[in-house]
Structure 1
């Protein structure tokens, strides 16, 4: 009877050890994938002109419309847009052009006058 109990304990211990080693391998694999995707995701900031909450909505919406942008947040006080994007899908230049296309000047691109003129009065930042 002691041999039977000992055998069950040994088999259970080996089974438990095998299950744990499998999960460690899966965890290591998923951590590697997360690191790989994090290496592609870049943070950048871009100076963007604007004044109000409507500007904030328009600027962030334009930035997020660019494929590869995962986060965009514009600070009205600092006139600065912070973004996260996949560098394999887009670039800071592409985001800057998308923002200028909806009427807001960046430190890289200037909105054309007709698009700027079409902005609501509260968004007119040019002197």
Structure 2
């Protein structure tokens, strides 16, 4: 009788532990990182009052984008995103619509014209 109670207790404990572990592993959203080559002429785009504001507003509001950084020296955008929501092709298009080249995707001419002169090459 005691061994049955002990066995049931151990079994119940293992079921609870397994359930918690399975639940926790599913709550972590999967993200990927994309590094997109661009062309930037200035050294302060992300801090700029107009371009930086535009980048933060528009790129961060792109579906699936979690965060991004701009490395002016390396001329790259590093974007952390949810692959269930977006993909690298959509991210390149989003960057190009902001007026910047994105790997092989040319900058949207109208958006490029809206950039500050210091950001144009």
Fold shared by both chains (TM-score > 0.5): yes
Report the alpha carbon displacement of residue 112 of structure 1 after superposing the two structures with TM.
Answer: 3.0
Range with greater deviation from structure 2 (87-96 or 16-25)? 16-25
Which of residues 95, 102, 110 in structure 2 aligns to 1:114? 110
Which of residues 31, 47, 65 in structure 1 aligns to 2:37? 47
Structure 2 unmatched runs, 5+: none
TM-score normalised according to structure 1 size: 0.67
Report the alpha carbon displacement of residue 108 of structure 1 after superposing the two structures with TM.
Answer: 2.7
CA RMSD of aligned residues (A): 2.8
Matched position secondary structure for 2:69: strand
Which position in structure 2 is the counterpart of 1:82?
78
Which of residues 92, 96, 99 in structure 1 aligns to 2:92? 96
Deviations 1:53-88 (A, max 9, x none): 334554454332221111211111111111221222
Which position in structure 2 is the counterpart of 1:123?
119
Whole-Å separation in 1 of the counterparts to 2:19 and 2:89: 38
CA distance change for structure 1 residues 60 and 107 in 2, over 3 Å: closer, same or farther?
farther
CA contact (8 A) 2:98 2:108 kept: no
Task: Give yes or no for the alignment of 1:30 onto 2:23.
Answer: yes
Whole-Å separation in 2 of the counterparts to 1:23 and 1:44: 38
Structure 1 unmatched runs, 5+: 1-10
Query: Which structure is higher in RCO with an 8 Å CA cutoff and minimum separation 6?
Result: 2
Whole-Å separation in 2 of the counterparts to 1:67 and 1:84: 12
TM-score normalised according to structure 2 size: 0.69
Report the alpha carbon displacement of residue 27 of structure 1 after superposing the two structures with TM.
Answer: 2.9
